[in-house]
Amino acid sequence: MPLLPSHTLIVTTSLALLTLSTLLIISPTTILSSNTIAILGSSMHIRQASFIPAPGSYTNTGAFAASNRIPPPPKINPLTSLTHPPKTTLTTPERELLALLGFILALASLTQLILATPLRYSKSSLTTTTTTTQNTTTSKPIRKPTSALAEQIHTLLTTQTLFQTLCTIHVLLTAVLVAAIYLLKSDRYGGSNDRTNEGWDYLANDVVFAAALSDMLFWGYLYTVVAEERREVLGVLERRRVMDEEDERDERR
């Protein structure tokens, strides 16, 4: 039995994505200047994204927001400051791109919430039926499956198959992206330091690496949870099949 059911995991992640999408639209610097992303990128030797404003260039958001003192000026390499001066703020196209990304994340989170609705079930609802009479409530095993129960089980198994497919696609795509960023843009493997390919630089950086790694780990864990729940449902169906066969043999006698 998993620690948390798949429905709870998906709802929690969807709410987190909604919060993340709101921050990307309202205050993207809050996310880009996150200490978690910086620590993860430094520990994996992933280069910082070129579109992140230099430390000390923002005061309303980021790591210096809670500090009352004036942050120190950013360290500038005199050899590269003329060709690649440090950024002081996000450009309008970058803000629009981040806002679009936030809007896409919001749609994805709402879609996950809708698709995960059939995953909300209890094991007892597949094996017992509850009847209420005046002040008493009784539960008894379901001997003969009803059309409503059969439809519920079919919808549940179909949704579990759908999420297992989604988990596989997410894990494969994000694993390829994480490996590509780590091998091509990592200091440890001698990645190129130039920024002639700005399009690739927008994709291969510590921000995208942290997002892809988190996505891969979550969907990989979700796959194991959904697979465990699917085995439980199939086990219930197998026990019901055995019970039906026993009932048929008793009726023949």
pLDDT tens digits, 175-200: 999 999 888 766 544 444 454 455 66
Which of 26-30, 120-124, 131-135 is most confident?
A: 26-30
Residue 162: the pLDDT is 94
Residue 237 lies in a domain: yes
The share of the chain scoring above pLDDT 90, in percent, equals 34
The answer to whether position 130 is within a domain reads no
Of 31-40, 88-97, 116-125, 186-195, least confident by mean pLDDT is: 186-195
Q: Is 80 among the domain residues?
A: no
Give Cα 8 distance to the centre of its chain.
13
pLDDT digits 0-9 by tens, 23-36: 999 988 888 888 88
Range of the domain at 240: 6-72+88-113+149-252
Q: Do the domain assignments include residue 79?
A: no
Nearest to 115 by CA among 167, 168, 172: 167
41 exposure class (CB count in 10 Å sphere: 0-12, 13-18, 19+)? buried
Residue 125 placed within a domain: no
> Which pLDDT does position 20 carry in this prediction?
93
Q: Structurally, how many domains does the chain consist of? A: 1
Residue 105 included in any domain: yes
Q: What pTM was estimated for this model as a whole?
A: 0.73
Q: Using CA atoms in the order 88, 92, 97, 99, what is the torsion angle rounded to 10 degrees?
A: 90
Whose CA is closest to 229, among 159, 168, 171?
159
- The answer to whether residue 82 sits within a structural domain is no
Q: 227 in a domain, yes or no?
A: yes
